[in-house]
């Protein structure tokens, strides 16, 4: 009974719980789910019910925006992610802290490898657990038991011990926010929001040809709206976001660009090799014109003809 009472104390006192909705990165091969709000008992079941209603796809990823909440529900979600091979992501510009950060550690890809990602504008934070009513934890046996359960959870999700050292060293009324460098050292991927690529795999966007290489290399990885915004204002009046996303999300499985050859100051040619979800492949000879807008490269024109023409 004392343990049950303690578990209730360290649960979030909020009446709200995680809400789930389809994320903008959802595609034919990815069930992308946005999870927002505080953690509360029952969130794992709610997620399972939500996913059950969706079509089965090759990958599933959860995007978090949460300050934390129920510690044990966080670990329950983390185990669920590992068991069901679900990737975890901290939404760009948002936070995943406390119980959310523990759940985040369960991120796993379809090959059963650890797979977690934060971004250069996200916040991933850990701290010691606390009673939701602010009272002190006076029963050392119960405290040690909770610590033991957290460490056991860490072993299950194969999380680095350094994370739990920071977790227990940080007072419950404070928060330790991991830097991008620390996250990388802990095996957590970091998405560069400016260059739209994973840190360590970025190509410097200093020249037009590098910009084009980066654009086509990451178009199936980055949020489609951010890629669409790399078209010039004039070009976007001709290519709506709806049609752009439909093409890249629902029709193109992969694209590979050959070397970009500069024909004049702002014009480049390349061959694009497409693999479609329909099973077909084809090649197009493309002529791309780029411009600089507010210091950033943008695609202003794109003319394509069949490689056989």
Domains observed in the chain: 2-192 (3.90.226.10), 203-306 (3.10.450.50)
Dihedral pair phi/psi, residue 299, rounded to 5°: -85, 120
- Partners of 305 in the beta sheet? 285
| Confidence band of 256 (pLDDT split at 50, 70, 90) | very high
Query: Is pLDDT at 205 greater than 70 in this prediction?
Result: no
What pLDDT shows up at residue 120?
93
Task: Tell me what percent of the residues of the chain surpass a pLDDT of 70.
Answer: 89
What pLDDT shows up at residue 10?
44
What pLDDT shows up at residue 16?
62
Q: What is the mean pLDDT of residues 209-223?
A: 85
What pLDDT shows up at residue 4?
36
Distance of CA 288 to CAs 34, 208, 236, 248, 265, Å? Answer: 35, 10, 15, 18, 11
Query: Is pLDDT at 257 greater than 90 in this prediction?
Result: yes
Q: How far apart are CA 27 and CA 245, in angstroms?
A: 9
Q: How far apart are CA 105 and CA 86, in angstroms?
A: 11
pLDDT tens per residue, range 124-135: 999 876 654 334
Cα dihedral 85, 91, 92, 98 sign: negative
What pLDDT shows up at residue 294?
74
What pLDDT shows up at residue 14?
47
- Partners of 33 in the beta sheet? 22, 62
Which structure tokens are listed for 260? Answer: 């970009």
Report the predicted TM-score, pTM, of the whole model to 2 decimal places.
0.66
Q: Which of 214 and 107 is assigned the larger pLDDT?
A: 107
Lowest mean pLDDT among 103-107, 138-142, 164-168, 220-224: 138-142
Highest mean pLDDT among 68-77, 190-199, 220-229: 68-77
Lowest mean pLDDT among 161-165, 168-172, 218-222, 302-306: 218-222
**Is the distance from CB of 230 to CB of 294 less than 8 angstroms?**
no
Distance of CA 35 to CAs 76, 161, 220, 224, Å? Answer: 15, 26, 22, 19
Query: Is pLDDT at 136 greater than 50 in this prediction?
Result: no
Q: What is the mean pLDDT of residues 238-247?
A: 93
DSSP 91: P
Query: Is pLDDT at 1 greater than 50 in this prediction?
Result: no
Query: Is pLDDT at 233 greater than 50 in this prediction?
Result: yes
Lowest mean pLDDT among 34-48, 210-224, 243-257: 210-224
Q: Which of 3 and 157 is assigned the larger pLDDT?
A: 157
pLDDT tens per residue, range 83-105: 999 999 999 999 999 999 999 99
First and final CA of the chain: distance in angstroms? Answer: 78
**Exposure b/e, 207-225, CB count within 10 A at least 16 = b:** ebbbbbbbbbbbbbebbbe
Query: Is pLDDT at 52 greater than 90 in this prediction?
Result: yes
**Is the distance from CB of 214 to CB of 227 less than 8 angstroms?**
no
Q: What is the mean pLDDT of residues 198-215?
A: 79
Q: How far apart are CA 45 and CA 39, in angstroms?
A: 12
What pLDDT shows up at residue 133?
37
Q: What is the mean pLDDT of residues 143-161?
A: 89
What pLDDT shows up at residue 204?
60
Query: Is pLDDT at 11 greater than 50 in this prediction?
Result: no
What pLDDT shows up at residue 138?
53
């Amino acid at each position: 009974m004392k343990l049950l009472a303690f578990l209730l104390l360290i649960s979030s006192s909020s009446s709200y719980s995680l809400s789930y909705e389809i994320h903008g990165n959802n595609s034919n091969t990815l069930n992308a789910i946005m999870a927002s709000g505080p953690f509360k008992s029952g969130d794992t079941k709610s997620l399972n019910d939500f996913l059950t209603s969706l079509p089965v796809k090759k990958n599933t990823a959860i995007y978090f925006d949460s300050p934390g909440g129920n510690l044990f529900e966080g670990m329950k979600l983390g185990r669920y992610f590992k068991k069901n091979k679900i990737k975890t992501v901290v939404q760009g510009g948002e936070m995943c802290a406390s119980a959310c950060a523990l759940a985040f550690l369960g991120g796993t890809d379809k090959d059963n490898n650890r797979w977690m990602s934060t971004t250069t504008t996200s916040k991933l934070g850990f701290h010691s657990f606390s009673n939701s009513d602010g009272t002190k934890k006076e029963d050392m046996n119960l405290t040690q038991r909770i610590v033991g359960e957290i460490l056991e959870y860490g072993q299950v999700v194969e999380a680095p011990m350094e994370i739990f050292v920071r977790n227990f060293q940080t007072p419950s009324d404070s928060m330790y926010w991991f830097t991008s460098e620390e996250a990388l050292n802990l095996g957590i991927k970091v998405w560069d929001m400016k260059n739209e690529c994973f840190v360590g795999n970025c190509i410097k966007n200093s020249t037009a040809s590098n910009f084009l290489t980066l654009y086509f290399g990451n178009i199936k990885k980055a949020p489609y709206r951010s890629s669409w915004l790399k078209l010039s204002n004039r070009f976007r009046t001709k290519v709506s976001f709806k049609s752009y996303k439909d093409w890249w999300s629902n029709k193109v499985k992969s694209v590979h660009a050959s070397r970009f050859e500069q024909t004049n100051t702002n014009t480049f040619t390349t061959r694009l090799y497409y693999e479609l979800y329909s099973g077909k492949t084809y090649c197009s000879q493309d002529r791309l014109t780029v411009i600089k807008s507010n210091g950033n490269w943008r695609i202003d024109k794109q003319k394509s003809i069949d490689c056989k023409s």
